[in-house]
């Protein structure tokens, strides 16, 4: 993959359209004046004096996804009023609606509860059921003929490649056209929690030298578990340290 050079877009004069309700940080929906396109501005966080790498991580993943043919939100490095971050292009076409995975699952999984610690119902089997009959994201010709679930499996493959730890039920969605039409899977989005974005360079070099992801490889909340019962999710040993025991079930995060 060739090197990608990218400068920062200045989004200081883009029109503010509102705040994104999901997420722990303040993310702003902005409208670019020249074409009216909506973009989500996500500022970089600084924790304990350490600048996090959400912006470069999400940009790198979007470029990799493009090379692999995985539908993904377009990402540009950006700055707004002196604050560095990124802008993520809205994944829904104009006048379409977007429903997060949590809402889709709520319609097919009895008693589904989003944002619980282990998200017991957020399983591969339930996601496949929720996406049944839906097509791949609109506007992506390379994947025509694939189902929504086929494409979602591509998202999980991308997650594995970049160590994305945040594929929870609000980090995938379906888009619904106006009037008569069927819902389709939305392009993948929000890959900021990838590529060791929060690690310091020294720690990254250490992990690369020993050939392991270390804590990045552990199961945690936000993943789609290939388990169907809370009992299966209640095991205490992490797969990254248990040599694949427990019949392929992700273990409880510590």
Q: Would you state the pLDDT for residue 214?
A: 53
User: How much is the pLDDT for 90?
Assistant: 96
Q: Give the Cα separation of 176 and 186 in Å (integer).
A: 9
Domain 9-89 has CATH 3.30.200.120: yes
**Domain boundaries defined on the chain:** 9-89, 97-241
Are 253 and 141 a contacting pair, CB within 8 Å?
no
Would you state the torsion angle of the CA atoms of residues 175, 10, 27, 60, taken in this order, to the nearest 10 degrees? Answer: 70
Nearest to 71 by CA among 52, 49, 93: 93
DSSP 216: G
Query: In the chain, what's the furthest Cα-to-Cα distance?
Result: 55
Distance separating alpha carbons of residues 90 and 75, to the nearest angstrom: 10
Q: Are 79 and 11 in contact (CB under 8 A)?
A: yes
Q: Residue length, the chain?
A: 254
Q: Count CB-CB contacts under 10 A for residue 159.
A: 21
Q: Name the pTM for this structure.
A: 0.78
The pLDDT value recorded for residue 125 is: 94
Q: Per-residue confidence of the chain (254 residues) as pLDDT tens digits? A: 555 566 899 999 999 988 877 655 679 999 998 899 999 999 998 888 888 889 999 999 999 999 999 999 999 999 999 999 999 999 999 999 999 999 999 988 888 887 777 777 899 999 999 999 999 998 887 777 889 999 999 999 999 999 998 899 999 999 999 987 889 999 999 999 898 888 888 887 888 888 765 554 444 444 444 443 333 333 333 333 333 333 333 333 33
Task: List all residues 6 or more positions away from 66 whose beta carbon is below 8 Å from its beta carbon.
Answer: 72
CA distances from 240 to 157, 244, 246 (A): 18, 8, 12
Query: How many angstroms from the chain centroid is the CA of residue 49?
Result: 26
């Amino acid at each position: 993959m060739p090197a990608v050079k990218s400068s920062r877009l200045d989004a200081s004069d883009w029109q503010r359209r509102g705040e994104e309700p999901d997420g722990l940080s303040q993310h702003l929906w902005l409208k670019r004046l020249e074409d009216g396109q909506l973009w989500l501005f996500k500022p970089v966080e600084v924790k304990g004096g350490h600048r996090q790498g959400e912006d470069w991580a999400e940009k790198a993943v979007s470029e990799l996804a493009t090379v692999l043919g995985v539908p993904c939100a377009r990402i540009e490095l950006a700055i707004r009023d002196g604050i560095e971050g990124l802008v993520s292009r809205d994944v829904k076409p104009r006048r379409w609606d977007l429903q997060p995975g949590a809402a889709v699952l709520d319609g097919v999984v009895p008693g589904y509860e989003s944002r619980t610690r282990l998200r017991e119902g957020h399983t591969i089997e339930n996601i496949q059921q929720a996406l049944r009959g839906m097509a791949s994201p609109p506007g992506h010709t390379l994947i025509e003929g694939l189902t929504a679930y086929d494409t979602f499996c591509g998202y999980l493959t991308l997650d594995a490649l970049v160590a994305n730890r945040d594929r929870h039920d609000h980090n995938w969605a379906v888009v619904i056209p106006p009037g008569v039409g069927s819902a389709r899977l939305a392009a993948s989005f929000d890959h900021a929690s990838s590529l060791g974005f929060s690690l310091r360079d020294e720690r990254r070099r250490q992990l690369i030298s020993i050939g392991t992801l270390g804590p990045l490889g552990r199961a945690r909340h936000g993943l789609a578990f290939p388990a169907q019962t809370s009992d299966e999710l209640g095991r205490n040993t992490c797969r990254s340290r248990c040599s694949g025991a427990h019949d392929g079930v992700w273990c409880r995060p510590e």
